[in-house]
Structure 1
Amino acid sequence: MAVDSPTGVIIAAVLLHAVTTMVCGSDAVLKLERSIPPSHELSLTQLRAFDSARHGRLLQSPVGGVVDFPVYGASDPFLVGLYYTKVTLGTPPREFNVQIDTGSDVLWVSCSSCNGCPKTSELQIQLSFFDPGASSSASMVSCSDRRCYSNFQTESGCSPNNLCSYTFKYGDGSGTSGYYISDFMSFDTVITSTLAINSSAPFVFGCSNLQTGDLQRPRRAVDGIFGLGQGRLSVISQLAMQGLAPRVFSHCLKGDKSGGGVMVLGQIKRPDIVYTPLVPSQPHYNVNLQSIAVNNQILPIDPSVFTIATGDGTIIDTGTTLAYLPDEAYGPFIQAISSAVAQYGRPITYESYQCFDITSGAVDVFPEVSLSFAGGALMVLKPRGYLQIFSSSGSSIWCIGFQRMSNRRITILGDLVLKDKVVVYDLVRQRIGWAEYDCSLEVNVSAMRGGRSKDVINTGQWRENRSESCFTSYHLLLRVVFLLHLLVAF
């Protein structure tokens, strides 16, 4: 008489998990989550305070295929729309929510030994803490390791127990410090529109054991920072050096309140993308802004105020919510817009910001704004590209999202102007490009090697094929389970 054995079922279950993981992986395109839920509104003053803290960090800084991370959501600037993604670290793998930041280089997460790290978050996410002792593949980076001094944006040092340590300082007095760990990062690599594989690679990241100031507060708490700068320890650099990702990444951020977006380590292909060169030898994504026009009229601003020669230049930064102009540019900019809409409503001050009470509520009474960059690249901002709306007593109050950067010659272009555009960071050719786009639509993505594009992958087609592949694989494995059960039974 045959006796049923669980062995066959166990083997089949293991095979089922392995194959479906390899073929199906996790969600495809890097969707973007908002950092604060829609119900959690913040004032312009709070937004500016958050940006000021970010600028402190930003300014005090000392291939295999298309890589996709499972990312969700989007951002509204007045809901503190900072983007975060999910990264998978360690063995066994664990997920962490980390803020996407093109203004820094290091991926760091809160450590289990952290002092001052928040335990809860108001972002409706569960906070996680990395425990080096719980990962069988984790190892500490020693002070003698060359990777200890690969990143010029942090203050690297040596702890008493010979661990390579780091410190990030924030403009509001808050900060974080910890030590570097080497472990595995897991991610999906899309090879073609019909093939994606689950990949992993050794990766150096920070383990934060101390957080101070604003980082301790649960209101904006996430598990860490996802650095996408150009430094050797950034996400893009580490994966590219191992031949696992191209030295190019792209994003497309939806501007409406429903959120959404795309981010890939690869090049989103659009025929209408215009490019401007990156300023050489800069730690951030600096570009040469040459002029600003309102209603096609170039403003009387000395172009030198936008350059590295006389200040900190012009930076493109997804980690900044609004946009910022130095004093010399802010005044003419506000004056030009005020003159253009004078007949349609009255100017008012809202929390010290320039706003307009437009009775009709029509945003199209506002002029277009054009930013002209080196290489002939033009960024045209429609009114919603630089305005935010507040409704009050039946009228619409529109506020200019560009803010004054007092006592510092720096221009920062944040999510306010980057939304509703494909933006490509091409580190091979050292350039940044953009084109207006409906970010709810599918995109074509290409990996690059040696400066040349490989096969183009359509995200919509890949999602469809991925679903079909998972369905087919699942039913195939069900047959394997049945056959193995019969084999063991008899």
Structure 2
Amino acid sequence: MLYFDSVTGDSSTANSSASIVFGCSNYQSGDLTKSDRAVDGIFGFGQNELSVISQLSSRGISPRVFSHCLKGEDNGGGILVLGEIVEPGIVYSPLVPSQPHYNLNLQSIAVNGQIVPVDPAVYQTSRNRGTIVDSGTTLAYLAEEAYDPFRQCCKLLRVDEVLPLVTFNFAGGASLVLKPQDYLIQQGYVDGAALWCLGFQKVSGQGITILGDLVLKDKIFVYDISHQRIGWVNYDCSRSVNVSLASGKNEFINAGQLSVSSSTQAKLHKLMLIAAASFLVHISMFSGCRFL
């Protein structure tokens, strides 16, 4: 059973609940058992009918769309919304139909405006190829055929261009522009100089590209399952957001101004769930990247 604080346009709240089917496991192994990586579970936001977002939508609790804004600096955090964050400038790209993941049609990658020389077929979605947006992945991964020329483009830059813009160009004319802080990870210091490494990892033997939290952070991402599209825009995730509610009319709330009682916070362990529904989520960046 999920419990909500329902929020209306005048910021008044009321309690509501929904019965949700979920699964449990009785055995866990590997890295997920280590204290620094252990998790209590996975909140399912896939496209299938058994996912949490689909079940809530079928019960009229929320629309079949969710959004997140992951804060990249300090200790992470951010906002997760069951509903659509409304913000000017959001660009959308259509989802690849009939896929189990959130696949987009990646058409090209550019470094400082120069297209990385990769056969476009590398980016096409097939049984073992494609580009996936996945907030459950910490870093980001490039298909082997794309990673090597991408890294070479970075190495060929002049000293004054050592930290270039990287652009992912998608179907529908939508581009995801990454600043250096969106794809580099600082790994300490050497002789007083900051040591940075490339957050993109190579996927050997597979043609899969995965865009994880490394590149999703500091942006609003909208997963519009109803309209089969994903949208994004750069955003300061410590700020409040406007949320469109599924009420038959356009209503907006300022999620950053919402609060819950201390007893509720204790119960939910700093997880706030509201009808528009925002929660705080925490992201931590793991090490393990390749050096430029």
TM-score bucket of the superposed structures, by smaller chain: 0.7 to 0.9
Residue 453 of structure 1 and its aligned partner are, at CA, apart by 6.5
Residue of structure 2 in register with 1:332 after alignment? 149
Match of 1:455 among 251, 257, 264: 251
Residue 217 of structure 1 and its aligned partner are, at CA, apart by 3.4
Match of 1:373 among 162, 165, 170: 170
Match of 1:253 among 44, 62, 70: 70
1:304-348 Cα distance to aligned partner (Å, 9 max, x none): 11121373310000010111011110011101111114x36xxxx
1:425-484 Cα distance to aligned partner (Å, 9 max, x none): 0111110000001111111111247xx863122224545xx89xxxxxxxxxxxxxxxxx
> Contact 1:193/1:462 (CA < 8 Å) preserved in 2?
no
Alignment of 1:79-478 (within 5 A): 184-309=1-126, 311-341=128-158, 343=159, 365-390=162-187, 391-448=189-246, 454-463=250-259
Q: 2:175 corresponds to which letter in structure 1? A: L
> Contact 1:310/1:409 (CA < 8 Å) preserved in 2?
no
Residue 211 of structure 1 and its aligned partner are, at CA, apart by 2.4
For residues 432 and 193 of structure 1, the distance between their equivalents in structure 2, rounded to whole angstroms, comes to: 29
The structure whose Rg is larger is 1
Q: Secondary structure at the match of 2:167?
A: strand
Residue 260 of structure 1 and its aligned partner are, at CA, apart by 2.5
For residues 207 and 398 of structure 1, the distance between their equivalents in structure 2, rounded to whole angstroms, comes to: 40
Q: Which moved more, 1:277-286 or 1:192-201?
A: 192-201
Distance of aligned partners of 1:333 and 1:249 in 2 relative to their CA distance in 1, 3 Å threshold: same
For residues 59 and 90 of structure 2, the distance between their equivalents in structure 1, rounded to whole angstroms, comes to: 28
Distance of aligned partners of 1:453 and 1:283 in 2 relative to their CA distance in 1, 3 Å threshold: farther
TM value normalised by structure 2: 0.84
For residues 33 and 199 of structure 2, the distance between their equivalents in structure 1, rounded to whole angstroms, comes to: 28
Q: Secondary structure at the match of 2:164?
A: coil
> Contact 1:269/1:446 (CA < 8 Å) preserved in 2?
yes
Residue of structure 1 in register with 2:269 after alignment? none
1:353-406 Cα distance to aligned partner (Å, 9 max, x none): xxxxxxxxxxx7411011100000011001111111122220121111011000
For residues 246 and 209 of structure 2, the distance between their equivalents in structure 1, rounded to whole angstroms, comes to: 30
Q: Percent identity?
A: 58
Residue 204 of structure 1 and its aligned partner are, at CA, apart by 0.6
Residue 218 of structure 1 and its aligned partner are, at CA, apart by 3.3
**Superposition RMSD on alpha carbons, in Å?**
1.9
For residues 263 and 374 of structure 1, the distance between their equivalents in structure 2, rounded to whole angstroms, comes to: 26
Q: Which structure is higher in RCO with an 8 Å CA cutoff and minimum separation 6?
A: 2
Counting matched residue pairs gives 260
Distance of aligned partners of 1:367 and 1:214 in 2 relative to their CA distance in 1, 3 Å threshold: closer
**Structure 2: 5+ residue runs without aligned partners?**
262-292
TM value normalised by structure 1: 0.51
Q: 2:211 corresponds to which letter in structure 1? A: L
Distance of aligned partners of 1:282 and 1:310 in 2 relative to their CA distance in 1, 3 Å threshold: closer
1:68-111 Cα distance to aligned partner (Å, 9 max, x none): xxxxxxxxxxxxxxxxxxxxxxxxxxxxxxxxxxxxxxxxxxxx
Q: Which has the higher helix share?
A: 1
**Structure 1: 5+ residue runs without aligned partners?**
1-183, 345-363, 468-490
Residue 265 of structure 1 and its aligned partner are, at CA, apart by 0.2
Q: 2:191 corresponds to which letter in structure 1? A: S
> Contact 1:252/1:262 (CA < 8 Å) preserved in 2?
yes
Q: Secondary structure at the match of 2:26?
A: strand
